[in-house]
């Protein structure tokens, strides 16, 4: 399973109304500290983010992606919005 597919699968628990995943790894080729992990940008809209601040939303996303961080993923840029903000 590709990392994008794995991200999509893991983030499905958040019941996203929108989920865009962009693999930016090629833009960071040769980035010495990446350790082989990729760079990804996600935009996610979920009702689970309603009433939560940015840090709480990011924590939920990081909990969902779990062990991918620091391994297959070196950097993750997150835009997380509630349906009211989308």
CATH of the domain at 68: 3.30.300.90
User: What pLDDT sits at residue 30?
Assistant: 60
Is 39 in contact with 28 (CB distance < 8 Å)? yes
Residue 64: inside a domain, yes or no? Answer: yes
For residue 10, what are the contacts with CB-CB under 8 A and spacing of at least 6?
Answer: 64, 65, 66, 68
Structural domain span for residue 46: 3-81
Give the number of domains in the chain.
1
pTM of the predicted structure, to 2 decimals: 0.87
Per the domain annotation, does 11 fall within a domain? yes
Q: Residue 79 has which token pair?
A: 């835009």
Q: Which contiguous run of DSSP H or E holds residue 77?
A: strand 73-81
Sheet holding 38-45, edge to edge: 18-23, 38-45, 73-81
| Domain-located, residue 28 | yes
Asked, for residue 27, whether it belongs to a domain, the answer is yes
**pLDDT tens across 37-79, in order?**
789 999 999 999 999 999 999 999 999 999 999 889 989 999 9
């Amino acid at each position: 399973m590709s990392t994008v597919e794995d991200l999509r699968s893991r983030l499905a628990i958040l019941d996203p109304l929108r989920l865009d995943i962009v693999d930016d790894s090629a833009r960071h080729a040769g980035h010495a500290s990446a350790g082989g992990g990729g760079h990804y940008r996600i935009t996610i809209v979920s009702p689970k983010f309603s009433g939560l601040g940015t840090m709480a939303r990011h924590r939920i996303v990081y909990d969902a992606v779990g062990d991918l961080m620091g391994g297959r993923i070196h950097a993750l840029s997150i835009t997380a919005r509630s349906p009211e903000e989308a």
